[in-house]
Structure 1
Amino acid sequence: MRTLFDPADTEPRRFYQLLTASVVPRPIAWVSTLSSDGVGNLAPYSFFTVASSTPPIVQFTSVGRKDSLRNIEATGEFVINLATASLQDAVNDSSAFYDADADEFLELDIKNEPSERVRPVRVADSPIAIECTLHQVIEVGNSFVVMGNVVAVVVKSEALGDDGLPDFGALAPMSRLGRAEWGLPPEVIVKERPRTPRTT
């Protein structure tokens, strides 16, 4: 037996809750931006993924027009910082609705450091920073899909594995689930992708 949820018959907020409890876990883009007046901003977004590998483009979705989106449209730059288990309280605290003239780095005493290729700073304690310039913004319903050209990926050396790629265990990324739930790093299994279809 299954329960049917029809978006036409469901209040939008309730359907949002249904979707976010269904599409789990979701990685978190902890987005740092800079306003045209030079005010920093830092906020988490859980509608986040890779849009293209060549050219490298990442994307996150802003539900509604928020400070991050306005800043990116004004300056054309942003940084996606990886949200990790050790930073969970700061990530959660930065999701509050601060005034546009408030800098979450200063309000929450989050350490930052200069980025390599863009003006917005990155989170100093985040193991990975993806530095981006604006590719395009696509309005979809009540949301805005922000696509960024990746101009640099900066990884802490201690978070790299023997193969030179980021190590999941060292990153310890957190994720967003439904309700007020967050996910901590899950168990990792290794399965090589098959080169040919399996036969029975």
Structure 2
Amino acid sequence: MYFDTSQLDQKRCYKLLASTVVPRPIAWMITKDEQGTPNAAPFSFFNFFSGFPPVVCVGIGRRDGRPKDSLANVERSGEFVINLVNEELAQAMNVTATPFPPGVNELEMAGLEVMPSNLVDLPRIAASPVALECRLHQLVDVDTTAKIVIAHVVAMHVADDAVLDAERCYIDTSKLNLIGRMESPGWYTRTHDRFKMKQFSVEQWEQSHKP
């Protein structure tokens, strides 16, 4: 089936992409409003795009024509924390996805304990297996519907039991037990099921194409 995206409205174009570009990692973003109240919200238009310098991007849309609270907070302060979501935290993450009014502390609503960050003035979720302390690098407008937040990761926290070798930065990803976003509404996936492929080499290709 062929789809010309220029012929689709915003809702249908979103549904088409969100149902096919899967699974997506979840950025459980913590920001802070002008009064210092933490805000927590999950976003699945997220990934890292550079290993060094470490750069992540998060796509944040608008609600009723206005920036979502997370975006407004990032624009003002230039800092945020991304917590990755494991299966044990899935329900709490789902609570924070509720469109509460501005000024509501979603972390308290979800019963989440927090810890201080090291380099940014924001808390991080204590039970999250990975937390990324981020500083804003650039905001990119996407028409009138969203902005892409580009940020440098200035510090990371990884659960001790998942660190195999801290010096070499070897991580046992399976122990993080992360989940990913699937199609809307409300579908997610676990990362338990995985398979490994051996890298195909140029030598193998040359061998297979010998006359």
Per-residue deviation, residues 133-187 of structure 1 (Å, max 9, x unmatched)? 1111111121111011111011111122356423221101111111221111142
Q: Does 1:48 align with 2:46?
A: yes
- Residues 62 and 143, structure 1, Cα contact 8 Å, conserved in 2: yes
Cα shift readout 1:5-62 (whole Å, capped 9, x = no counterpart): 2223323201211100010000001001112320100000001111222211111110
Counterpart-to-counterpart distance in 2, 1:149 and 1:8 = 33
TM-superposed CA distance for 1:192, in Å, is: 4.1
1:71 match: 73
Q: Provide the residue aligned with 1:168 in structure 2.
A: 173
Between 1:149-158 and 1:186-195, the stretch displaced more is 186-195
Structure 2 residue matching 1:26: 3-state secondary structure: coil
Contact 1:85 1:185 in 2 (8 A): no
The one-letter amino acid of 1:124's match is A
In the aligned structure 1, how far is the partner of 2:197 from the partner of 2:158? Answer: 25
Conservation of the 8 A alpha-carbon contact between 2:96 and 2:109: no
Q: Mapping of 1:9-158 within 5 angstroms?
A: 9-64=7-62, 65-141=67-143, 142-158=145-161
Q: Is the contact between residue 30 and residue 82 of structure 1 (CA under 8 Å) also seen in structure 2?
A: yes
Spell out, residue by residue over 1:90-135, the C-alpha distance to the aligned partner (whole angstroms, 9 max, x if none).
1111111011110101122111111111111001000110101111
The code of the aligned residue for 2:37 comes to: V
Task: Please give the TM-score of this superposition, normalised by the length of structure 1.
Answer: 0.93
Identity %: 34
Indicate the SS of the match to 1:117. Answer: coil
CA shift, 1:195, in A, is: 4.8
Q: Structure 1 stretch 23-32 or stretch 4-13: which is displaced more?
A: 4-13
Q: TM-score, normalised by structure 2?
A: 0.88
Instruction: State the distance in 1 between where 2:90 and 2:76 align.
Output: 29
Compared with structure 1, are the counterparts of its residues 195 and 66 closer, same or farther at alpha carbon in structure 2 (3 Å cutoff)?
Answer: same
**Residues 51 and 147 in structure 1, CA contact (< 8 A), matched pair in contact too:** no
Alpha-carbon separation, structure 1, partners of 2:142 and 2:55: 18
Unaligned 5+ segments in structure 1 are: none
Amino acid at match of 2:104: A
Query: Structure 2 matches for 1:187-198, cutoff 5 A?
Result: 187-196=193-202, 198=205
Count, aligned residues:
198
Of stretches 72-81 and 178-187 in structure 1, the one that deviates more from structure 2 is: 178-187
What RMSD in Å do the two structures reach over aligned CA positions?
1.6
Whole-Å Cα distance in 2 between the matches of residues 147 and 89 of structure 1? 27
Could you tell me how far apart the structure 2 residues matched to 1:118 and 1:46 are?
A: 22
Tell me how far apart the structure 2 counterparts of residues 117 and 193 of structure 1 sit (CA, whole Å): 38
Bigger Rg, structure 1 or 2:
2
1:5 is matched with 3
